[in-house]
Structure 1
Amino acid sequence: MKIVSLITTFTSGGAEVLVSNLSGAFSAAGHDSLVVALCPASIVGNDTRTETEQRARIEAAGGRTGILSTGDRRNLIGGAIAMRRLLRREKPDVIHAHTIRAILLLALAGVSVPVVATHHNSRLSFPPMLFRLLGKTVSAYVGISDECCDLLASKTGTEIVKIVNATGPGFLADGPRKTMGSPAELLAVGALTDQKNYPMMIEAAAMARAKCPDRPFRLRVAGNGAIRAALQEKIDSLGAGQVVTLLGDCNNVAELMREADIFVNASHYEGMPIAMLEALQSALPVVATNVAGTRELVRDGENGILAKPGDAAIFADAICRMLSSPQDYAKMSAAALEEGRKYRLDYCAGAHLQLYERLAKA
């Protein structure tokens, strides 16, 4: 099959990492995989170096890459014309849209092949009426978690298929961890966006340093985004520079996971975060907010600790609780690894290919 996957830009976000990994699996299975970004990374303020690296990874794994338009991504007419040219040139058997804007452009371009769509979060960032307007364009939706499936079911009558996310190679640990380092290494991975609630995480880290001074730690944050300067200002204002470090874009996340002791996530909401799956496969216990997408992966007291979202003091308590429970650390690490083993790329890619083949034959 010729499979075209559509993303907003080539970035290090979870959805883009998943698409990159899936493309490699599709190519390995003998399919023609083309990943197309709607616009260059620079248009939306993303790192062009990361864009180059991600495209190179996809192409090294046998896939192809492209950028739909170099113009303003808000230009629907220009985008639709470029999309029509892409469809005529490539003649795909199936298209998988990983952004709502791509579905809109496909509708305006008059797409005639099956379209699969994934919404990668448990909340909507666009008016729900778009589901109704684009209902005839999408053949099936992929729900990446139970809560994502429930959201889709409440907004559209189109078929919904649950396919959970998966990690790429290089993360699965040989076995559980036994002890934490001193200082303990806390790691957060993800784009610096409001969804991830990094200001609260930073505040909680500063509080935890004071609440459990006998349990030294440092927090490293891998990721980039428009709010980086504001986050650094917050770190400086709290005097937390010795505790919290913003690493920026990183292409060595697997190495960072191996160096870490605990994974942290303070998001307001999630879909099924790829970075958390990578952490679980790396046998890292998790401290996270009890929100959609996360609570399907983390069981409080078993493979991590869940905290009330939005409350820095409670999140600080959760960090201290993890740091102060060395006797439970190995048990939580083993449970994290057991959970992480469920999210294999071959299972995820196989489920996608089965869906594509069924729709292409219909």
Structure 2
Amino acid sequence: MRLWSWLRTPDGIDWPRALLVALSVTLVLALGVVASTSAASFGLYNPAWDGTSEFRAHVAADDTVEHDLVRNTQAYTEGEANETVAFVIAPDEPYTDDDAARVQTFVENGGTLVVFENFGEPGNALLADVGAEARVDGRLLRDERYHYRGPPMPIATEVANHTATQGVDQLTLNYATAVGPGNATVLVTTSEYTYLGDEETDLEEVEDLQAYPVVTTENVSNGSVVVVGDPSLTINTMFDQPDNAAFLTNLYAGHDRVLFDISHASDLPPLTAAMVAVRGSPLAQLGVGLVGIGLVAVLVRSDRSTLKRVLTRYRGQRTTATAKALERSPDALSEEEWAERLRHRHPEWDDDRIQRVATAVSRATHDQPDES
């Protein structure tokens, strides 16, 4: 039964049924959106203001690099480390010893690790595990003079000359913290009117204002570690603010592969998680392939059954038409009906001969004088 026929009645459209169809379609679309998006802060598939879907899409659209989602740190041991950059954005949980060891080996083999962290301890713990000296402070940076929409969103105006800062004149921060560099090289600092505090801090109680580092880079073994004291640089609402997108692009420029490390972050949406799981498991890929082959086989069998029914119906109709033609008076037969009769009586004749005879007989029959 066709959908349109099901929706129609003798009096017009069956509106209750139409409403049911509309609600069903809406429900399916809504479930699809829910299954393919995330609401987690810093989520790579979160399209809201606090997600990082724009950053992920920006990397995915770059034909010069490949990108992978890392749900298991085993991915750090695959591929060429010295051609890979890994982004760790505000991890929710600390890395276990085994996980940290894999990341450390990745850096030792020449990989680039970029850690975005402000107030969480997992980021600092990971930096210590891989042998980096830089650490995030954890207190809120505020700038009463140079800011975007308020003191908690300072504009970092001091930018060093480095490959990671090419084309970058400033970074627009959002609830950032300072980075204690140790022996690391400072790439970006705030203005000299910045202080560390919180929403309750009284500016008059601040002893001094100064510039604070917010981005550092350092060599660790054969690799490098970049520390950014503001994971919000990557979120959708801040990605296009000056000059955040350019800076983030520079961080992976020159590499062949980008890893988005979500192994210690919020879960992926169900459909994406399933896709990543299949890509990472040869056994799962085999299972999906077998299911696909089974579906194709079912569809092919279904198509053959449908074709058989159509041919049977067509042949039945043709046989009926031929029988009717045979029952009619020769004088009343048309040229096509004469052809059907000849095919029935002389199956050994070819189509050209049947057509010639049918034309001749039809003309002879219809050209006879009326004897009445």
TM-score band, normalised by the shorter chain?
A: under 0.3
Length-normalised TM-score, structure 2: 0.27
Length-normalised TM-score, structure 1: 0.27
User: Which of the pair has more CA radius of gyration?
Assistant: 2
